[in-house]
Copies of this chain bind each other. A is one copy, B any other.
């Protein structure tokens, strides 16, 4: 199936669109606790990676890797977190999350309870996001896409 009528990732962008290709888009996620949190969202409505053929899985992971590389180069996080969950919105989307030891949840996943307010880290990362966004858009545009 290519679209689902009640799916928010079929009917909306799911964030600030940094890049849009035929098979997927890359958005800055509206996650104020985690500046730089980026999602790679499949265009078509499929729930699982194994619903895609190998070439489409590879293309999606190449986009995820491009985001990861841009985050490491521009934001210099302590760790990258990658996840495709989709329990609430079963439309394939990859979370690419830059993490720092002093962010609100570290070392727990961002879906756990907060361990501190993380405001100091947010204040350090937020000013880098515009440059990260521009560099990410350039890297994605420069990719050789099938």
A107 to B79, Cβ gap below 8 A? no
Of all chain B residues, the one with the shortest Cβ separation from A72 is: B50
Interface residues on A, range: 20 to 34
Determine how many copies of this chain the complex contains. Answer: 2
Q: A109 on the interface (CB 8 Å rule)? A: yes
B82 to A108, Cβ gap below 8 A? no
Contact residues of A: prevailing secondary structure? mixed
Given contacts A57-B61, A88-B107, are A79 and B47 in contact (CB under 8 A)?
yes
Give the residues in chain B near A111, CB-CB below 8 Å: 108-109, 111-112
Residues of chain A at the chain B interface (Cβ within 8 Å): 47-50, 54, 57-58, 61-62, 64-65, 68-69, 72, 79-88, 90, 99, 106-109, 111-113
